[in-house]
Amino acid sequence: MLSHDTIMERGKNPDVRIGIGAKVDGDKVKRTVAAANRKGLGRTTIYDDPFELVAALHDGEVDAAVRGSLDSTTSINAMKESFSVDRILRMALLQPPGGRMFFFAPVGVDEGWTVEQKMEFIELGSSLMRRMGVEPKIGVLSGGRLGDKGRHVDVDRTLSDAEEVTRRGLAAGLDVRNCEILIESAVIDRNFILAPDGISGNLIFRTLHFLGRGKALGAVVLNIDRVFVDTSRAKSSYIDSIAFASALVGKRKA
């Protein structure tokens, strides 16, 4: 089972080249980089322009990138342009206080709004988890219990989506369970939680991390062929995000 400590240990790859962005809170990023380099979590270089950071990743000048304190929208646009994709799909790695670590998606407000996108998250996310030595156990969330059908059109949509995603996932041979709205039960034995849509996913992420003081190591971009770990500018330190990126590169190379 993954934990914050195991990610920090797996991230000890001193030869991995990592780029991190710094647009605001430059001193915080510099302190993070100095600490990460001392711990052997790759060799990290600071970039103040998102297009330069993404170009360095695309061209192989760095093995992985961490957004750091760069602007989110500009960084996403840079990735879309450099990697020729029309959208970005991100999966976060979270750990509640005293709880088990789990993967979580979607975390972007514009992500995961269709059954097809949800299936793409499941397929790409499961592949990444297996590269990290974790067998995915997927819990699909919706906006209510099954018995709530008919109470609101948007609730009905999420219930229908969850049933269809579960059906398709099982047909593909994946360990998928329809957990309805019961996230508190899902996290007990599921290690990949799929939110109903990007808005609810972003709210769950923010509630857990910023209000609940849970650990958020960052969100890895699933649909490009390089390691990019997205981060919140509100993080007090990016050292665990750098470790996450380094650990992912180690697994890719292996």
Residues 68 and 113 in one domain: no
Q: What is the DSSP string of 153-199?
A: HHHHHHHHHHHHHHHHHHHTT-EEEEEET-HHHHHHH-SEEE-SSHH
Give the containing element (helix H, strand E) for 130. Answer: helix 115-131
pLDDT level of residue 2 (50, 70, 90 thresholds): confident
How many beta carbons lie within 10 A of that of residue 74, not counting itself? 16
Residues 157 and 248 in one domain: no
Instruction: Report the C-alpha gap between 143 and 140 in whole angstroms.
Output: 11
The whole-number pLDDT of residue 252 equals 53
Task: Select the more confidently predicted residue: 1 or 19.
Answer: 19
Instruction: Report the C-alpha gap between 184 and 99 in whole angstroms.
Output: 11
Segment 28-43 mean pLDDT: 94
pLDDT tens digits along 83-92: 999 999 999 9
Task: Select the more confidently predicted residue: 79 or 1.
Answer: 79
Instruction: Report the C-alpha gap between 196 and 132 in whole angstroms.
Output: 25
pLDDT tens digits along 204-223: 999 998 889 888 999 999 99
With 50 as the cut, is the pLDDT of residue 254 above it?
A: no
Q: Domain containing 8: what range?
A: 1-85+224-254
With 60 as the cut, is the pLDDT of residue 253 above it?
A: no
Tell me the pairing of strands 102-105 and 192-194: parallel
With 70 as the cut, is the pLDDT of residue 173 above it?
A: yes
Residues 209 and 129 in one domain: yes
C-alpha atoms less than 13 angstroms from C-alpha of 102 in its C-beta half-sphere: 27
pLDDT tens digits along 65-84: 999 999 999 999 999 999 99
Residues 113 and 210 in one domain: yes
Please report whether residue 219 resides in a domain: no
- CATH number, domain of 237, equals 3.40.50.10950
Q: Which residue has the tokens 């849970």?
A: 214
Quick check: pTM over 0.85? yes
CA-based R_g, the chain, Å: 18
Q: In terms of C-beta density within 10 A (0-12 exposed, 13-18 middle, 19 or more buried), how is residue 62 classed?
A: buried
pLDDT tens digits along 101-153: 999 999 989 899 999 999 999 999 999 999 999 999 999 999 999 998 999 99
Instruction: Report the C-alpha gap between 167 and 178 in whole angstroms.
Output: 9
Structural tokens at position 197: 């849509």
Residues 176 and 245 in one domain: no
